[in-house]
Amino acid sequence: MHPIPYWSLSGFYFFHFAFIGAFAPYWSLYLKSISFSAFQIGVLMSLLHVTRVFAPTAWGWLADHTGKRLLIVQLAAITGLISYCGVFFGESFAWMAATMALMSFFWSASLPLIEATTLSYLGESTARYGRIRAWGSLGFIFAVIAVGYLLDATDITALLWAVLGFKLGIVICSRQIPEAEIMLHPAEGLSVRQIFKRPEVLAFFAACFLMALAHGPYYTFYSIYLVEHGYSKSIVGWLWATGVICEIGVFFLMPQLMHRFCLKQIMAFSFICAIARFLMIGWGVEWPAMILLAQILHAATYGAHHAAAMMVVHHFFRGRHQAKGQALYTSLTFGLGGAFGGIFSGYIWEGLGPALTFTISAVAVLLGLGLVMWKMNVDR
């Protein structure tokens, strides 16, 4: 087993999630500034999820087939940077849709392959995953706070240049990571289709799909929602950052949590917290303390949920199936679930209002909790 390239992997996670920290909270504000409607914003923001339905699976298959994960990551980083530059050359709906779709197609290749690479280096020490992944959370915090203050002090178009800088960081770090050795595993005797069709695997993916769908209104309209209720952009940035700061704590505590609780218990707890969180956001926006508490719950609804989900995927998909397993998870949850969540929130946000929209999110999570409790069964 080769030594873990800790700083190379950590740097990639930092810039990958710094990009998300600049893009997810603030891009909808930029789209609103160039006069797109709520439905158009919902459609455009969902494009990042739509391309993640099919692109990661295609990239994951190519990576497992060629064994060249990092070469694909490097090519995707460069083409993603080039395609993003389209935002500087047009503002029509069609142009923006084409630019965001193309950028996302290449961007979505990277994370599943980096996750598979990280877990390959860790081997059986998967509980240490959180220590590396936490750098992604730090990148998100840096970006979401810095960009929030930047946009309070300058014009919204400064966002375009900030995102460009983070995309460049992804390209640089992708070139520093050495290829990991892919270890053979007995599970490779089964096909990916056979593994996927197991009842506990189907239940896991369906539950994670519902969790991602429920986050659609949050990732699409949360910043707009708070700004319209009198919160400044810098305060919005700090609220996003608060959730991710708590998430980092969970990543560092995962080894202890996994020693005391099984993955099913951790997953179930994260779903219960998500139900409470969405109800608090939907009905408590007038009370900053409640919104702050809802952000603290991000530690469970994303931090604990994501770390546990990575362990579950690693448990089911081993050896040469790792990249395909990670790609399936990304495609079906962040991709399909996020796309449906973004589109449904854009469709009902103005009609039903924020409170009922977030209530529907809570109901979706409740259904996911039922699937976790009914079928999912994974050892520590």
Kindly report, residue by residue over 323-376, the tens digit of the pLDDT. 778 778 888 888 888 888 888 888 888 888 889 999 999 999 999 999 988 877
More confident residue, 19 or 121: 19
For the chain, give the percent of residues with pLDDT over 70: 94
- What is the C-alpha R_g of the chain? 19
Using CA atoms, how far apart are residues 307 and 322, in angstroms rounded to an integer?
Answer: 16
pLDDT band at residue 182 under the 50/70/90 scheme: low
Using CA atoms, how far apart are residues 176 and 191, in angstroms rounded to an integer?
Answer: 32
The sign one gets for the Cα dihedral 130, 135, 140, 142 is positive
310, HSE (Cβ side, Cα atoms, 13 Å): 26
Highest mean pLDDT among 62-76, 208-222, 308-322: 208-222
The answer to pTM > 0.85 is no
The string of DSSP letters for 85-109 reads GGGGS--SHHHHHHHHHHHHHHHTT
pLDDT 10s digits, 254-274: 888 888 888 888 989 999 999
13, 9, 20, 12: which is closest to 243 by C-alpha? 20
pLDDT for the residue 24: 82
Neighbours of 98 (CB within 10 A): 15
Spatial contact of 13 and 139, defined as CB atoms under 8 Å apart: yes
Using CA atoms, how far apart are residues 138 and 77, in angstroms rounded to an integer?
Answer: 20
More confident residue, 156 or 186: 156
What's phi and psi for 379, nearest 5 deg?
-70, 170
Collapse the DSSP code of 79 into the 3-class scheme (helix H, G, I; strand E, B; otherwise coil) and give the result.
helix
Q: Take residue 130 and report the two structure tokens written for it.
A: 């959180």
Using CA atoms, how far apart are residues 29 and 237, in angstroms rounded to an integer?
Answer: 13
363, 378, 330: which is closest to 16 by C-alpha? 330
**Domains defined along the chain, listed by start:** 8-176+190-375 (1.20.1250.20)
Residue 185: is its pLDDT beyond 60?
Answer: no
pLDDT 10s digits, 186-206: 555 677 778 778 888 888 999
Residue 96: is its pLDDT beyond 90?
Answer: yes
Using CA atoms, how far apart are residues 312 and 54, in angstroms rounded to an integer?
Answer: 21
Spatial contact of 256 and 353, defined as CB atoms under 8 Å apart: no
Which amino acid is located at 255 in the chain? Answer: P
pLDDT band at residue 183 under the 50/70/90 scheme: low
In the DSSP assignment, the letter for residue 198 is: S
Using CA atoms, how far apart are residues 135 and 129, in angstroms rounded to an integer?
Answer: 11
Q: Is 191 exposed, middle or buried (0-12, 13-18, 19+ CB in 10 A)?
A: exposed
Most distant CA pair in the chain: distance in Å? 58
Residue 184: is its pLDDT beyond 80?
Answer: no
For Cα atoms 285, 241, 43, give the angle at the middle one, nearest 5 degrees.
Answer: 65
Neighbours of 101 (CB within 10 A): 16
Using CA atoms, how far apart are residues 142 and 165, in angstroms rounded to an integer?
Answer: 13
| 222 contacts: CB under 8 Å, gap ≥ 6 | 25, 281
